[in-house]
Amino acid sequence: MNATMSLPSNSWERFLRRYWGTLAFGALVIAIIFWGYSTDPNVTTAILASTVRQATPLVLGALCGLVGERSGIINIGIEGQMLLGAFVGFLANVYTGNLFIAVLAGIVTGMVMGLLLAFMSVTLKVDQIIGGTVINILAVGLTGYFYTSGLTTKGKLLPIALGPLADIPLIGPVLFKNPPITYATIVLVFVVHYVLFYTKWGLRTRAVGEHPRAADTVGINVYMIRYVNTILAGGIAGLAGAFLTLEAVGSFERSMTNGRGFVALAVMIFGKWTPLGSWGAALLFGLASAVQTQLQFGGTVNIPHQFIGMLPYLVTIVVLAGFVGRSRPPAAEGTPYEKE
Cα separation, 87 vs 167, in Å, equals 35
Q: At what angle do helices 260-270 and 41-70 cross, to 10 degrees?
A: 80
Across the chain, mean pLDDT equals: 87
Q: Is residue 6 part of a domain?
A: no
Residue 303 belongs to a domain with what CATH number?
A: 1.10.3470
SS3 145: helix
Tell me the mean pLDDT in the region 69-74.
96
pLDDT above 80 for 114: yes
pLDDT above 90 for 65: yes
pLDDT above 60 for 325: no
Higher pLDDT, 148 or 194: 194
Cα separation, 308 vs 319, in Å, equals 17
Q: Is residue 226 part of a domain?
A: yes
Q: What is the pLDDT of residues 32-64, one digit of tens each?
A: 677 666 677 888 888 899 999 999 999 999 999
Of the candidates 104, 107, 105, 135, the one whose C-alpha atom is nearest the C-alpha of residue 119 is 135
pLDDT above 80 for 159: yes
Cα separation, 92 vs 103, in Å, equals 8
Q: What is the pLDDT of residues 250-283, one digit of tens each?
A: 889 888 998 899 999 989 988 889 999 899 889 9
How far is the first Cα of the chain from the last one, in angstroms, to the nearest whole number? Answer: 45
Q: Is residue 12 part of a domain?
A: no
pLDDT above 90 for 16: no
Q: Is residue 278 part of a domain?
A: yes
Q: Is residue 96 part of a domain?
A: yes
Residues 150 and 90: beta-carbon distance below 8 Å: no
Q: Is residue 84 part of a domain?
A: yes
Q: Determine the structural domain holding residue 79 and report its residue range.
A: 47-157+171-322
Q: Is residue 258 part of a domain?
A: yes
* Alpha-carbon distance values, 299 to 41, 288, 295, 329 (Å): 18, 17, 6, 42
Q: What is the pLDDT of residues 75-111, one digit of tens each?
A: 999 999 999 999 999 999 999 989 999 999 999 999 9
- What lies within 8 Å, CB to CB, of 103 at 6+ separation is 89, 157, 181, 239, 242, 246
- Tally the domains of the chain: 1
Q: Which range, of 23-27, 41-45, 158-162, averages the lowest pLDDT?
A: 23-27
Q: Is residue 106 part of a domain?
A: yes
Residues 70 and 225: beta-carbon distance below 8 Å: no
